[in-house]
């Protein structure tokens, strides 16, 4: 009688080790707007506090160094600068006046006696619409009409540069443009009506956004005939 053969199944555990760069890391993908600046933080361990830091163009180890600290805490080359903060374990790379040609792969790098730690970062530069403009009062909102004025500033903090600013006055029939600057100076004594409304628009190649309305009321003081605008 033949004995039945038994097949033993032996479980095999496969462990895959993924490369981890614990000594150096940053955001893998960053995005910036044309004409504006972008700051990229590269984090590193305490063992690299005294080592020189650099930023290079390219994805491989044969990347081209664009800026480095060279034993200092700061470095600059053209539109690119680098600042090292050993106490926080961060060096920051800043690229100013972004161009479309800046899109590509880069490396945070640390100069060491052995194999330099590198971390790949992809920068994408896009043409972005402006954000809704923010209004800032540069002077008090309540001043005497005889010798005072109110100054406002309009700024769109996001979107591709250049950004064009226009101030408008709201009217019943048609709004009128009164200034092509980001700052508006309102001289209270020149007002002919009691109520005025103003707003700012910010525009670039991708579109236009309008700010909130600024309401100006002229209040006549009793006795001296002068007024307050606010």
For residue 156, what pLDDT band results from cuts at 50, 70 and 90? very high
pLDDT of residue 186: 83
Q: What average pLDDT score do residues 93-113 get?
A: 97
Q: Does the structure show a pLDDT above 70 at 103?
A: yes
Whole-number Å distance between alpha carbons of 43 and 23: 8
Whole-number Å distance between alpha carbons of 152 and 149: 10
pLDDT of residue 142: 57
Whole-number Å distance between alpha carbons of 176 and 190: 17
What residues contact residue 38 under an 8 Å CB cut-off, 6+ apart?
A: 30, 32, 94, 95, 98, 123
Q: Does the structure show a pLDDT above 70 at 181?
A: yes
Q: Return the sign of the alpha-carbon dihedral for residues 11, 12, 18, 23.
A: positive
CATH number of 134-229: 2.60.40.10
The yes-or-no answer to whether 24-126 and 134-229 have a common fold is yes
Question: 10 Å Cβ neighbour count for 176?
Answer: 10
Q: Does the structure show a pLDDT above 70 at 83?
A: yes
Domain ranges of the chain: 24-126, 134-229
104-110 and 53-57 beta bridge pairing? antiparallel
Tokens of 140: 């008090």
Question: 10 Å Cβ neighbour count for 33?
Answer: 20
Which tens digit of pLDDT belongs to each residue from 114-152? Answer: 899 999 999 999 999 999 999 998 876 655 455 567 788
Task: Give the fold, CATH level 3, of 24-126.
Answer: Immunoglobulin-like (2.60.40)
Q: What average pLDDT score do residues 180-199 get?
A: 83
Q: 40 versus 151: which is more confidently predicted?
A: 40
Whole-number Å distance between alpha carbons of 227 and 230: 10
Q: What average pLDDT score do residues 201-210 get?
A: 96
Whole-number Å distance between alpha carbons of 50 and 110: 10
For residue 18, what pLDDT band results from cuts at 50, 70 and 90? very low
Q: Return the sign of the alpha-carbon dihedral for residues 154, 158, 162, 166.
A: negative
């Amino acid at each position: 009688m033949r004995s039945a053969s038994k097949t033993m199944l032996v479980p095999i555990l496969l462990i895959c080790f993924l490369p981890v760069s614990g000594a150096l890391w940053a955001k893998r993908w960053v995005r910036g707007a044309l004409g504006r600046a972008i700051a990229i933080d590269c984090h590193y361990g305490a063992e690299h506090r005294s080592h020189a830091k650099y930023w290079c163009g390219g994805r491989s180890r044969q990347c081209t160094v664009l800026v480095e600290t060279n034993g200092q805490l700061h470095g600059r080359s053209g539109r690119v600068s680098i600042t090292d903060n050993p106490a926080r374990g961060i060096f920051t790379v800043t690229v100013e006046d972004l161009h479309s040609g800046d899109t590509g792969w880069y490396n945070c790098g640390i100069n060491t006696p052995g194999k330099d730690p590198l971390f790949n970062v992809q920068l994408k530069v896009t043409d972005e619409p402006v954000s809704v403009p923010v209004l800032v009062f540069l002077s008090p909102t309540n001043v005497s009409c005889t010798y005072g004025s109110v100054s406002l500033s309009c700024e769109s903090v996001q979107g591709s540069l250049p950004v064009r600013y226009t101030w408008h006055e709201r009217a019943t029939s048609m709004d009128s443009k009164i200034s092509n600057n980001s700052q508006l100076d309102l001289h209270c004594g020149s007002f002919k009506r009691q109520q005025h409304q103003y707003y700012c628009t910010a525009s670039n190649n991708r579109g236009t956004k309008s700010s909130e309305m600024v309401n100006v009321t002229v209040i006549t003081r009793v006795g001296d005939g002068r007024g307050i605008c606010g």
